Structure 1
Amino acid sequence: MNDSESSTKARQTHDDFDFSDSDVTIQSSDGILFKLHRRNLEFGTGAFPPAEVFQTEGEITQLTEKADILAVMFQFVYPRRHPDLEDLVFELVIQVAEAVEKYEVFAAMNTCRLRLRHFITKHAAEVMGHFVRHNYSSMVDECVPHIARSPLIDVLELLPPECVLPWLLYQDAWKSVFKLARKYIKAKPMDGEGLCHHPMTICNRCRLILNVYVNELEETSSLPALHAALDGLTPVYPGDCLCKTCATRGCKYLPRIMELCRKGVQSIPPFSEFLKSGYQYRIPEMRANDYIN
């Protein structure tokens, strides 16, 4: 027995993939052997094995994935009941999903996509990155509501490079909504005699409070919470913070600002649009009656 054969014997072979009549031996990045059948790999995948991988009969082929990833993936290339991945943690599922896309294990792709959808709530950015990398645009927008209002850096750290610029442009679209609201407030003439809203003026106190309100909307950390605020389902601010005019008759500008923001949010296209080559988002302009109402 030569040194090469001795070394091969000493390596551990995966219990589920140790076929005595195998004609292909694959080694994971952590040193586990998989003794498989070339025929199953050829018929069960679209890009595996590439012609250059298996040049010599009996030669061990090194792959970059770890054994736990390959063990799941290879279950899909044999005529047996395929796993549903429901007992796997997210970190393993997404690595398996990347592997089956890399080697075009078609039987596993849909299972991985469906399973990843269950992790969107807690891992939206990572799942969205996977969907973007592999052109599942219809599923990208399912992830966005969970991270649309998340801190920019937290999201960018988890997105693939091709998502960075589209995400920045998408966030600029969000900023434009609140910028428009501030522009509306700023356009109101200043009232210096305490007659707020008469006929279309605004006092310093109301101007300050309304700007604070817009700032709080912009900093809202979740999309459902933002919608709730704009729909009047959550408190805006205490009545005693308002000027005397608003405290008696109600602030006439607040509902208009809420409606302006609500329409702005509704006008933002899905993130998948920003991923399209050459897409440009046009920031809404204020109309003349927005200034005077």
Structure 2
Amino acid sequence: MATRDSKAFPPNSKADIIFISSDGVRYGIHAKNLEVNTGGFPPINTQNGLSVTSEPVLLPENSSVLDLLFRFIYPIDRPNVEDMDFKTVIKLAEAAEKYQVYSAAHVCRLCLLRFGNFMKTHPVEIALFAAKHGYAELLELTGAHGALLPLSTVVPLLPERLILPWVGATSIH
């Protein structure tokens, strides 16, 4: 796969680690920012305060997700998540949860809850996200909107452990 350098986070001599997206974009990221602002990226090996990581780390996310995610680990302008479409928000939310980018995860949860009518238009997807990451309050709120959907549409999408809670939550509303 051909690679190209990120314009916002180019690999350079000051970067401690190089990440490569699934679509071949190389990112130069500072270990200190990962350490302070995340909890789920691969650890950086250091000796005497200097990185000894020589191999780039391949990430399964594409550059459109990583371009957004990495902005949350630096003291720079954050992306305006409220203006994003659902597909972008949910991909960013999944990456933020996976790599424990706390500020991005928080903003994405708020966005799923309050902005863009996502709760009305994507209640099943939000319920699955909430269940996967243990957000009971978000899962419960999807019930009111999911009640409008036929069970024959929803049940095949849910893991077995969520079918009864979903049916119970939707029957209340």
Flag whether TM exceeds 0.5 (same fold): yes
Alignment partner, residue 70 of structure 2: 74
Paired positions, count: 164
Residue 26 of structure 2 aligns to which amino acid in structure 1?
L
CA offset digits 1:108-135 (Å, max 9, x no partner): 1211011112211101111121112112
Contact 1:41 1:49 (8 Å CA) reproduced: no
User: How far apart are the structure 1 equivalents of 2:70 and 2:99?
Assistant: 11
- Normalized per residue, the structure richer in strand is 2
Q: Which has the higher contact order (CA 8 A, sep 6+)?
A: 2
Counterpart among 36, 44, 52 of residue 43 in structure 1: 36
Tell me the distance in 1 between the aligned counterparts of 2:150 and 2:80. 34
Residue ranges of structure 2 left out of the alignment (5+ in a row)? 46-50
Normalising by structure 1, what TM-score?
A: 0.51
For the Cα contact (< 8 Å) 1:42–1:49, is it kept in 2? no
Secondary structure of 2:72's counterpart equals helix
Residue 156 (structure 1) shift: 2.5
Aligned CA-pair RMSD: 2.5
Task: Tell me how far apart the structure 1 counterparts of residues 70 and 159 of structure 2 sit (CA, whole Å).
Answer: 26
Deviations 1:68-100 (A, max 9, x none): 111111110001232231232111110110111
| Structure-1 residue corresponding to 2:3 | 11
SS of alignment partner, residue 18 of structure 1 = coil
Match of 2:88, SS? helix
In 2, are the aligned partners of 1:84 and 1:111 still within 8 Å (CA)? no
Could you say which structure has the larger radius of gyration? 1
Kept after mapping to 2: 8 A contact 1:116/1:127: yes
Q: Distance in 1 between matches of 2:144 and 2:160?
A: 20
Is residue 24 of structure 1 aligned with residue 53 of structure 2? no
Asked if 2 retains the 8 angstrom alpha-carbon contact of 1:133 and 1:160, the reply is: no
Residues 96-111 of structure 1 aligned to structure 2 (within 5 Å): 96-111=92-107
What is the rounded CA distance, in whole Å, between the counterparts of 1:160 and 1:18 in structure 2? 40
What residue number does 1:120 align with? 119
2:48 paired residue number: none
Evaluate the alpha carbon distance shift between residue 114 and residue 48 of structure 1 in structure 2; reply closer, same or farther with a 3 A threshold: same
Instruction: Give yes or no for contact 2:19–2:56 (8 Å, CA) kept in 1.
Output: yes
Structure 1 runs not aligned, ≥5 long:
1-6, 175-267, 271-293
